[in-house]
Structure 1
Amino acid sequence: MTLVCYQPPAAPWEGRMDGDDPASLRWHQYIRRADISREGLPVLQQGRKGIALLGFASDEGVRRNKGRTGAAAGPAAIRKMCANFPIHFDDHILVDAGDIVCDGNQLEMAQEALSATVNYILKEGYLPVLAGGGHEIAYAHERGIRRFTGTTQQLGIINFDAHFDLREPDANGPSSGTGFFQMAQDRAAENMPFHYLALGIQQNSNTRKLFQTADTLGAEYLQASLFQLKYRDQLLGAIQAFIKRTDKIYLTTCMDVFASPYAPGVSATAYNGLVPDALFLDCYRTVLRSGKLAGTDIAEVNPSLDQDNRTAKLAASLVYEIVMNYFAV
């Protein structure tokens, strides 16, 4: 396929070597690299699942949103932290499909390239797992999924995020904070419902107007203050009910949803964000194990602001959860 803004996988993954026997392998020894602009993705044989890891090297949306830039280096940092994960699955394919790169301020061009690539990945039978990059990844990823699913299926959007990202684009154009508003506008133009569930919303990080916009658009949300063990049944019940009303799910995670000790390397840190504990994983795995996952991404990893790779390691651990749960479903 012909792709603009596309960069093939860089040098081979590197990591710890414990041997070449199947029981000793790590991701860097197992993952395939594919230049999808030339050779495409490996053909999936019957009974095998595939995951294509694609980076979105962009923080132009963060810059337009007046945030702290540096997330364009996020995909490389996430890959590096994934390299030493052990292999606990058989007969499935894990592919590094390279990056879509935003050149300068050409965000819209990069988003279009990402949408087209996501559509291609899905047509080849793979699950797109995207690594960002700013949260401008969301609009492009979701649009690529909709291109594949069409308008006959109800696509639900689940966003783990401290922010609604429901701002209206201004004179600077779309940004990392406008993606879900753009999705809502697209749905209205298609005369389709807007199924949006935001999890981890912070009252101190969203204006009254944004809460009003969420209500006007029919968005559902659960604030970060509900992520306590005593509310576990309420949380899981809300997520399960949302999933039940949809045919497919697009799952996106902005790393600023987590408390700053766990995710310091983001544009907007939160002292009281979510803790990546068993309760969070119960909620996250409920989505991953739904059997409806059409695509997922992790956004806002900024290595220049990280400490001891904490944010990149947490993001990589979420990629590990995605891979293990998708291959197990």
Structure 2
Amino acid sequence: MITKESYQPAVATSWTGRIDGTDADFLRWHQVIKVVDLLQAPLPVLAPNEKGMVLLGFASDEGVRRNKGRTGAAEGPAALRKVIANFPAHFNAHTILLDAGDVLCKNGQLEEAQEVLSEAVKAILTAGYLPILLGGGHEITYGHASGIRKYAQKQRVGFINFDAHFDIRVPGEEGPSSGTGFWQLAQDCKQSGDTFNYLALGIQKNGNTRQLFNIAGEEGTTYVSADAFHLNDKDTLFAAIQHFLLQVDMVYLTTCLDVFAAPFAPGVSATAYNGIMPGGLFLQCYRAILQSGKVVSADIAELNPSLDIDNRTAKLGAALIFEIVMAYCGEDLSL
């Protein structure tokens, strides 16, 4: 249940930016986005010819703290909004873009915040919108994906994670963290009799213990290492992606910004000096997943503005959000 203690509605005045004009060809996101309050009213009903997207922040880094990382990701949603506000609106009048505000994690109550997030995601999906979540630490995964599973019922849900880490740790004394989300989902799938469909892309051998590789194997995880991106191994990457997509009906897509090389993503808890490059082969993979038509919800995780340099990481995360929106609207990203 969404409560006023765990939720902060969006504020229209927070959406500002450059104005080149008010005709359709001049518009930017801050000029077309509308704010909604999930506590006050249901989302607007979409007409048959309309597509709708809802931005929702998860202002939490409690999971990062529990995982002994560098906190600050709770400010990620605000930083992402600031960048995407000035994006040009390359979509038509039949596209509805809403900001539903932030789910909050107060007083370290991560499990409660994740439950609220799952209910919000389910409500957005039920209303026919595409949820685009703004993190926040990667503890966003468990709440986000749980909401998708509630909505999906018996449809086959697949989890695709661009990440240097499996995030499949067994919870420790402090409980679930930013590194346990996929282990939690694996247990939930077992309990409900569902297959745990998990594809991890960009995994670093120097970022995961042997135990984590063992757990990933025990849970049936499919993964492709960062080497495939470094060595331009397109065949391996696309074979893994296409095979995975054939096994599922809908996809939860999450991108942990620490999958990228540190010069492009310095603003994360755990930087990767040898992370993948955010252009070329990565974009081909990302777009192939988005254009499959199976992505029902997506998020960006681990942006820590306090560690960022010249907003590089925020701009990279925002660029991925732009990719998600354009693909959902059926817009051609080629020039």
Same fold, judged at TM 0.5 (above): yes
Q: Which residue of 2 is the match for residue 315 of structure 1? A: 317
CA offset at residue 196 of structure 1? 0.3
Q: Give the one of 241, 244, 249 matched to 1:242.
A: 244
- Cα distance in 1 for residues equivalent to 2:109 and 2:194: 29
Confirm or deny that 1:37 pairs with 2:39.
Answer: yes
Report the counterpart of residue 220 of structure 1 in structure 2: 222
Give the whole-Å Cα distance in 1 for the aligned partners of 2:327 and 2:204. 28
Assess, with a 3 A threshold, how the Cα gap between structure 1 residues 71 and 230 changes in structure 2: closer, same or farther: closer
Once the two structures are superposed, residues 261-302 of structure 1 have per-residue CA deviations (whole angstroms, 9 ceiling, x without a partner) of: 000000000000010112111000111111111110000000
What is the CA deviation profile of residues 39-69 of structure 1, one whole-angstrom value per residue up to 9, with x for unaligned ones?
Answer: 2322111111100000000000000000000
* Cross-structure match for 2:145: 142
- Of 49, 65, 80, the match for 2:67: 65
1:116 lines up with 2:126 in the alignment = no
CA contact (8 A) 2:232 2:281 kept: no
CA RMSD across the alignment: 1.1
Q: Is the 8 A contact 1:119 1:144 kept in 2?
A: yes
Structure 1 counterpart of 2:257 = 255
Structure 1: stretches of 5+ with no match in the other structure: none
- Aligned 1:1-329 pairs, distance under 5 A: 2-4=2-4, 5-10=6-11, 11-90=13-92, 91-150=94-153, 152-228=154-230, 230-328=232-330
Distance in 2 of aligned mates of 1:12 and 1:164: 35
Q: Following the alignment from structure 1 to structure 2, what is the Cα–Cα distance between the partners of residues 75 and 277?
A: 23
Deviation at 1:108, TM superposition (A): 0.6
Looking at structure 2, the residues matched to 216 and 254 of structure 1 have their Cα atoms a distance apart, in angstroms, of 23
Q: Distance in 2 between matches of 1:18 and 1:43?
A: 30
What is the Cα deviation at residue 253 of structure 1? 0.5
Cα distance in 2, alignment partners of residues 228 and 63 from structure 1: 31
Structure 2: which 5+ runs fail to align?
none
Q: Do the aligned partners of residues 141 and 85 (structure 1) sit closer, same or farther apart at CA in structure 2, a change above 3 Å counting?
A: same
Distance 1:136 1:260 in 2: 21
The superposition leaves residues 142-190 of structure 1 with CA deviations (integer Å, 9 ceiling, x where unpaired) of 000000011x211000000000011101110100000000000001111
Q: 1:228, CA displacement in angstroms?
A: 3.8
Q: For each residue in 1:61-88, what CA deviation from the matched residue of structure 2 results, as whole angstroms up to 9, or x when unmatched?
A: 0000000000000000000000110011
Runs of 4+ in 1 over 6 A off after TM superposition: none
The alignment's TM-score, normalised by the length of structure 2, stands at 0.96
Relative to the length of structure 1, the TM-score reads 0.98
**Stretch moving more, 226-235 or 45-54:** 226-235
1:274–1:104 Cα change, 3 Å? same
Amino acid at match of 1:202: Q
Measure the CA separation in 2 of the matches of 1:64 and 1:218: 26
Q: Distance in 1 between matches of 2:2 and 2:193?
A: 32
Instruction: Report % sequence identity.
Output: 59
Matching residue's letter, 1:42: P
How far residue 233 of structure 1 moved from its aligned partner, in angstroms, is 2.1
Which secondary structure state, in structure 2, belongs to the residue aligned with residue 227 of structure 1?
helix
